[in-house]
Copies of this chain bind each other. A is one copy, B any other.
Amino acid sequence: MRGKKDMMSGDDIRNAGLKVTLPRVKILALLEQSEQGHVSAEDVYKLLLDAGEEIGLATIYRVLTQFESAGLVTRHHFEGGQSVFELDRGEHHDHIVCIKCGRVEEFFDQTIEDRQQEIAKEKGFSVEAHALTIYGYCKDPACRAS
């Protein structure tokens, strides 16, 4: 079971044209197992430290960027501070973020997607990408707007 997963990771890395190194395997495994799903480079660094793996922050940035180019990972620029990374599972979605506790939830709305295409067409633009993030307070009582 675990052996299989590790091999999968190794394959993904190899398929991306990258050497299968310990940092890459560890980082990818962490992204796969991560509960939060959405982590910053520094989160990755600290989580790996907690797991006893000391990998340089520069390497983490480099690897995440390479994974992004390879389509294994998606990078988001939520407001405030660091970029956030998540495993790319092939299904596009947008985000709603709690500005109190940081919770991130995902959603996909075909209506919004369609409208964007129509708007782009009206303006004479092609659509290469888009970023939609809703910011608010989540349902946690401790987060409800004061």
A interface vs B, CB < 8 Å?
77, 79, 96, 98-99, 105, 107, 109, 111-112, 115-116, 119-120, 123-139, 144-145
Contacts and interface: CB of A to CB of B under 8 A. Distances in A.
A134 B98 CA distance: 22
Given A79-B77, A109-B115, A115-B112, A128 B137 contact: yes
A133 B130 CA distance: 6
14 contacts: A77-B79, A124-B138, A125-B137, A125-B138, A125-B139, A126-B144, A126-B145, A127-B134, A127-B135, A128-B135, A128-B136, A131-B133, A131-B135, A132-B132
A96 B119 contact: yes
B120 A129 contact: no
Copies in the complex: 2
B132 A131 contact: yes
Contacts of A130: 132-135
B105 A109 contact: no
Interface of A is mostly: mixed
A56 to B, nearest CB: 25
Contacts of A96: 119-120, 123, 125
A127 B136 CA distance: 4
Contact of A131 (B79, B99, B107, B136): B79
